[in-house]
Amino acid sequence: MKSSVARLSAIMVALALLAACGQAQPPAAAGPTSAPATSATAAPAEQSTAAPAAQPTAAGAEQPTAASAGGAASGAAIPIGIAVAQTSNVALFGQEQVAGAQVAEAYFNQQGGVNGRPIKLVLQDTAGDEAGTINAFNTLINTDKVVGIVGPTLSQQAFAADPIADKAGVPVIAPSNTATGIPQIGDYIARISAPVTAVAPHAVKAALNINPAIKKVMVLFAQNDAFSKSETVVFQQTVTDTFKLDLVGVQTFQTTDTDFTTQATNVLNAAPDLAIISGLAADSGNLVKQLRDLGYKGLIVGGNGLNSPNLFPVCKAQCDGIIVAQAYSYQADSPINNAFRDAFKAKQNKEPGQFSGQAFTAVQVFVEALAAVDKQTKLATLDLAALRSALNKQILAGTYNTPLGEISFTPEGDINQKQFYIAQIKMSPDGSSGAFEFIE
């Protein structure tokens, strides 16, 4: 009995010593770096960004990841909101955006964060509708106290939720909102996603380069999606006004549709040389599959909603040959894109797509703008409202070397981007794998 007591006493002493040693270390940041991609609720962010400023880490010292934000980089992590669709039929895009943003979080924290202070992503799931987006924005702004928001996934969601952020004075960087009118929502709204007017015509031109004999064109679009409705107008004007082609018909569908027999039959009856589709990944993939199943042999141009590798499992081998204009190429040779591509492939075991590249870029803009603000006026001296205001002004003033190339912003918050790409989907014969092959 005495020996047991002695052993117990020794264990208690040892535990006390370990606890004392642990108290000598800085406390870990509260909550995980980011919620799992399927979670609708993120860990609470720091309630104030006016914590003591971080001290620069010694040169050559290992920089912390956001999961250990209280370690090598002292000071509270800076919360950046990520409000994208992690569930619903839009999740094929949102999950890519989460992956790109998380690569950015790890990468920039390893580079020292914001002048030695780490960032922390706070994820909120918008799902696929406006109500979910409004709830996500309100939570990020009022509860999570983020300095800014990356999101949402769809333009339709942006028109509903962005005014809330603008009224609250919270900067928003849209990673994938390309519909007309997004930057005009308010002074605090910017986007790194090129407007559809700058991108869509390139895809039609590429189709004509492949088949100069194209004369007749059929257009199909999701009428319940704001972006698709905006994009189809550009496509139709490009077909009739720019290239003087014959628009033989316009077919509509819903993003929730799974049966496209009527639309596919109407396409076959019109016998177009080219079909142009504006929709989301799941519905557009099923539309492509049913078009091919019923015998359509012509070229297909996809809008921005088909810019996702998550399209491949939907239409499989029948995705082959789809032409899409893109604002991002994983093959672009620059230090930042090479670093992003390597990090993304290491984590995801695949090449990054446009939605991931744009999400990485949105986080990068926040990090670099925060660092610039901190050099002018220490973040620790600013209350949250003043920090958000200064950050918004700096975002619009900066120039950024990103995976998208060099970008900047117009005074309204629209992106200035010089380089665009044309990709054609190439699938394996059995449809088990595919890739965007860049032809321009």
The domain spans of the chain are: 30-194+333-409, 196-326+421-438
Classify domain 30-194+333-409 by CATH number. Answer: 3.40.50.2300
Residues 408/342, Cβ–Cβ less than 8 Å: no
| Cα–Cα distance for residue pair 49/61, rounded to 1 Å | 25
User: Going by DSSP bridges, is the β-strand pair 421-427/434-438 parallel, antiparallel, or unpaired?
Assistant: antiparallel
Number of alpha helices (DSSP H) and beta strands (DSSP E) in the chain: 12, 15
- Output the six-digit token pair for 328: 């991002």
Fold match flag (30-194+333-409 vs 196-326+421-438): yes
**Sequential pLDDT tens for the chain (440 residues):** 434 434 434 434 333 333 333 333 333 333 333 333 333 333 333 333 333 333 333 322 333 333 333 344 456 899 999 999 999 989 999 999 999 999 999 999 999 999 999 999 999 999 999 999 999 999 999 999 999 999 999 999 999 999 999 999 999 999 999 999 999 999 999 999 999 888 889 999 999 999 999 999 999 999 999 889 999 999 999 999 999 999 999 999 999 999 999 999 999 999 999 999 999 999 999 999 999 999 999 999 999 999 999 899 999 999 999 999 999 999 999 999 999 999 999 999 999 999 999 999 999 999 999 999 999 999 999 999 999 999 999 999 999 999 999 999 999 999 999 999 999 999 999 999 999 999 98
Residues 179/226, Cβ–Cβ less than 8 Å: yes
CATH 3.40.50.2300 for domain 196-326+421-438, yes or no, is: yes
